[in-house]
Amino acid sequence: QLVYPHDFRLTEKEKTSICYLSFPDSYSGGLGDTQFSFRLRQAGGSRNSPFQDDGRYNREAPVTLQREAAHYFGYVYFRQVKDSSMRRGYFQKSLVLVSRLPYVNLFQCLLQLIAPEYFDKLEPCLEAVCNEIDQWPPPVPGQTLNLPVMGVVIQVRIPSRVDKPGSSPVKQCNQENLLPAPLVLPSVHELDLFRCFQPVLIHIQMLWELMLLGEPMVVMAPSPTVSSEMVLALTSCLAPLRYCCDFRPYFTIHDSEFKEYTTRTQAPPSIVVGVTNPFFIKTLQHWPHILRVGELRMSGDLPKQVKVKKLAKLKTLDTKPGIYTSYKTFLHKDKTLIKRLLKGIQRKRPSEVQSALLRRHLLELTQSFIIPLEHYMASLMPLQRAITPWKNPPQIRPFCQEDFMKSLEHAGPQLTCVLKGDWLGLYRRFFKSPNFDGWFRQRHREMTQKLEALHLEAICEADIVAWMKDKSEVEIVDLVLKLREKLVRARCQHLPVKEETLQRVSLYIDTIIGSLPEDLQTVLHH
């Protein structure tokens, strides 16, 4: 019906997709309000975001919270109530917030404040809210923001790449006697993992492996709320490693990618999709891993755990909850985690404490897996003494899988993880996954930038006048051009170089130009 701000351009295809994704697509008899989220592929070329920040946010944010370039997230607040004045006898409406940021908690909290008011007062309410949001500061990693909206101040800290993984969020200290007292969100994005994973706690190991390897997976749930929470929980369980495959927290049969995912002529893509329409049981039967869950209910004891079943059993529409797969895990189950969670249930520990336990376990598992890769990758960096000012910096040595495998004998995950199993087999499979590719590219880019930075520092330390003594004009001009190019690159790519280093290189260039004949000086100054 309407888009706010009015000047935000969506293509017709995007509008249609957003409309379909904003409503439950299977019969939901439930009345009242529900919230869920979706992720949508951007249609038709890249568009400039109204927030130009030269990439600073993505450089400083954790990789798992970077702004998406080719996808939008949609956060939905859906209301369904009986209303005899409507043709169908029901009032059904959704308010959707679209963003490139994966801040599920912040945006769902915001919708809880705005949506009920919007359904009541309509457009003027949105106009007022958008005016307030326009005044919000940009999200700066590491900062705590106070965000006023509709008489409430939401206070939330934006995580930063330099935060220690697994550390609890820094206690909010800048209360500044805010009146009214702020609504403090413990995290901008972290879900209640314990609640999301309740029916599958005993299979957490298997689900972590499937995510790590980028395996295609369908989550079949009774509602978009359960499907989107489960998909987001699954993709977050690799943190601080980024899940580099595609994921759709909620997906409908009207989606433009529906044909692509349901075709049997090619293998399913590396993606996790959340669906609610029973029709998908038939169309996605050929997928290798299907997780069927019921409603998530918090109860005083361990909820019924789903069983692992053969895919052949997935025939009927009343398919029972379960993980339908023939996958055999590489690592053995961690019985201690289940025991600790059970003890927590018996002692009526709050859900957030249980979630913290679970998150800690997943974090340690991911770190045990990734630390040997980080160590090996660091060993491919050239030695600092090999970096000399007047030669191009040496190359990073190539990543050799077999060398890495050999290094595991004395520096493998067994040093930090008690879990036994076929770690080597897991690494071999991981090398074929988009998650390895994404991790490797990111690391390689960071190392290349570090080399560039070290090279600039080496140039700064060098005795440029001594070098120039026996050089021809051609060689000197060539050096000026190369140094200029390096400076431009350092600034454009925001290399990890001190500002004083860049200024010294700039001075060097001026010194060198000053020593040349005047005609050349004129040319170079232009």
Burial class (CB in 10 A: 0-12, 13-18, 19+), 499: exposed
299-317 pLDDT, tens per residue?
556 677 888 888 777 665 5
Please determine, for residue 172, whether its predicted confidence score (pLDDT) is greater than 50.
Answer: no
How does residue 440 score in pLDDT terms, banded at 50, 70 and 90?
Answer: very high
How does residue 29 score in pLDDT terms, banded at 50, 70 and 90?
Answer: low
Span 170-194, average pLDDT:
75
C-alpha span between 249 and 225 (Å, rounded): 9
Three-class DSSP category at 367: helix
Please report, for residues 216, 268, 283, the alpha-carbon distance to residue 312 in angstroms, rounded to integers and kept in the order given: 17, 17, 14
Closest CA to 206 of 270, 319, 291, 293: 291
C-alpha span between 2 and 96 (Å, rounded): 11
In this prediction, what percent of the chain has a pLDDT beyond 70? 92
C-alpha span between 273 and 291 (Å, rounded): 10
Q: What is the pLDDT of residue 26?
A: 67
C-alpha span between 436 and 426 (Å, rounded): 12
Contact status, residue 4 vs residue 130, Cβ threshold 8 Å = yes
Closest CA to 245 of 430, 97, 399, 458: 430
Q: What is the pLDDT of residue 300?
A: 58
Contact status, residue 319 vs residue 216, Cβ threshold 8 Å = no
How does residue 225 score in pLDDT terms, banded at 50, 70 and 90?
Answer: very high
* Residue type (1 letter), 235: T
* Segment among 81-90, 126-135, 250-259, 356-365 with least mean pLDDT: 81-90
In order of start, what are the domains of the chain with their CATH numbers?
12-165 (no CATH), 193-353 (3.40.50), 463-525 (no CATH)
Is 131 or 302 the better-scoring residue by pLDDT? 131
Contact status, residue 169 vs residue 187, Cβ threshold 8 Å = yes
C-alpha span between 309 and 1 (Å, rounded): 44
Give every CB contact of residue 487 below 8 A, 6+ residues apart in sequence: 502, 505, 506, 509
Please determine, for residue 525, whether its predicted confidence score (pLDDT) is greater than 80.
Answer: no
Is 365 or 45 the better-scoring residue by pLDDT? 365
Please determine, for residue 437, whether its predicted confidence score (pLDDT) is greater than 90.
Answer: yes
**What is the spatial order of strands in the sheet that 217-220 belongs to?**
246-248, 271-275, 217-220, 289-292, 322-325, 307-309
Q: What is the pLDDT of residue 473?
A: 81
Q: What is the pLDDT of residue 94?
A: 94
C-alpha span between 490 and 448 (Å, rounded): 12
Q: What is the pLDDT of residue 333?
A: 85
Span 351-372, average pLDDT:
93
60-116 pLDDT, tens per residue?
999 999 998 889 999 999 998 888 888 878 888 999 999 999 999 999 999 999 999
Q: What is the pLDDT of residue 110?
A: 95
> Which range scores top for mean pLDDT: 52-56, 154-158, 417-421, 517-521?
154-158
Q: Kind of pairing, strands 152-157 and 271-275?
A: unpaired
How does residue 196 score in pLDDT terms, banded at 50, 70 and 90?
Answer: very high
Mean of per-residue pLDDT scores for the chain: 87
Span 135-140, average pLDDT:
93
In this prediction, what percent of the chain has a pLDDT beyond 90? 47
Q: What is the pLDDT of residue 281?
A: 81
pTM of the model as a whole: 0.90
Hey, what's the torsion of the CAs at 332, 335, 340, 346, to 10 degrees? 140
Please determine, for residue 365, whether its predicted confidence score (pLDDT) is greater than 90.
Answer: yes
454-491 pLDDT, tens per residue?
998 888 888 877 877 888 888 888 888 888 888 888 88
- Segment (H or E) for 224: helix 224-236
